[in-house]
Amino acid sequence: MNFLLLGEQATGKSSLLVALYGALVNQRAENLRIVRTIDDVEFLSRGLLAFGRQESVRRTEIDSHARLIVELARGEQLVSLDIPDRSGEVLKHTLDSRLWDPDLLEQVVSADAAMLFLRADRLEPLENPQPALIAGTAGGETEDASPSASAPAWSPALMQPDARAVDLLQALLAERSRPLPVAVIISAWDSVGAAALGPREWLSQSVLLLDQYLTSNSARLPNAVFGVSAQGGDFAAGLPADLAGEDPWDRSYVIAPSGQRDTLAAPIIWLLDAVS
């Protein structure tokens, strides 16, 4: 089964794979067990070591073709999973140039399911939206707000994250005739705070356009939203004392669509159920 990771740079794709691998190997993944790994998993082992040192996972090189290929047992059922881990810059530059990267397009067409990554700490609602980013429009109500020669020409690179996500999903649907189950992964969930809403409610407040698009296209894009903390906290700010001594696979967690804390396997299990 081919799972596609869709996310721009630093949205937590590799971190999730590392944390998932740690959960699978250390039996913190509900009833999912690794039967065997089929490809080189050195990058995942290295990532787990980095998490152990409370360091973030290194960014993925643009021409890297790292992937997690595993055979899993789910109760009596055997499942083969192939999850390529392409660099987020591949997607970023696909959106900016409005031209599919050939490998990414191939994955989009052949994928059985996808995970769409957004990063919570980059998606807080804007306090002062800036309409002047659209070239040639006035920047505000002031008298001297004339079209400015210094305003940047509009380009896809100026799109806000929610518009970029919807743009991506529209382009994706144009390439597929069959439905694609999507687990929306809100990474760095620990930055949202303990009093936060559930992931879906958070999405509907912070990434409204994407939430509306997913709702109105749920037949072609069956979807569920998960909050994920692959690291368990912010390494730069320092982990809370009660987490600092934990193993990486015990620090990481998922907030399921229900709002309940769950294991790293929850998005995978949801996707497996959605595909079958």
Partner 1 sequence: MEAVDQLLFGYRDGHQLLAASRAISPRQQRELLPHVDASFERSDARQLVGIGVPALDAYLLGAIWPAPERPRPGAVWAHALLIGTHQLARLPLLGLLTLLERPRDEHFERYSRPLAWPALPSDSARLAPFSRALAWALHSTDPSPVIVLWDFPDVAEGALIALLDETPGPERMALSFRTRESARPSSPYRIQVASDVAGQLGAAREILIDPRYSGPGSVSATG
Binding-site ranges for partner 1 (CB under 8 A): 8-10, 40, 50, 55-64, 87-89, 92-94, 96-97, 99, 101, 155-157
Least Å distance between CB 243 and partner 1?
20
Task: Tell me how far apart the alpha carbons of residues 48 and 138 are, in angstroms, rounded to a whole number.
Answer: 50
Give whichever of 97 and 110 is closer to partner 1, judged by the CB atom.
97
State the nearest-atom distance from the C-beta of 17 to partner 1, in Å: 15
What minimum distance in Å lies between the beta carbon of 185 and partner 1?
Answer: 18
CB of 58 or CB of 261, closer to partner 1: 58
Separation of alpha carbons 74 and 78, rounded Å: 6
Tell me the closest approach of the beta carbon of residue 257 to partner 1, in angstroms. 29
Comparing CB distances to partner 1, the nearer of 98 and 261 is 98
Q: Considering Cα of 28, then 32, then 35, then 40, what sign does the dihedral take?
A: negative
Q: What is the dihedral of CA 58, 61, 65, 66, to 10 degrees?
A: 0
Query: Please, which residue, 63 or 141, has the CB nearer to partner 1?
Result: 63
Please name which of 222, 192, 225 lies closest in space to residue 123, comparing C-alpha atoms.
192
Nearer to partner 1, 103 or 201 (CB): 103
Smallest distance from partner 1 to CB 55, Å: 7
CA distances, 167 to each of 40, 87, 200 (Å): 33, 19, 20
Q: What is the DSSP string of 90-107?
A: HHHHHHHHTS--HHHHHH
Cβ atoms 92, 7 nearer than 8 A: no
Closest approach, Cβ 42 to partner 1, in A, equals: 9
| Residue whose CB is less far from partner 1, 66 or 83 | 66
DSSP label of 231:
S
d(CA 272, CA 276): 6
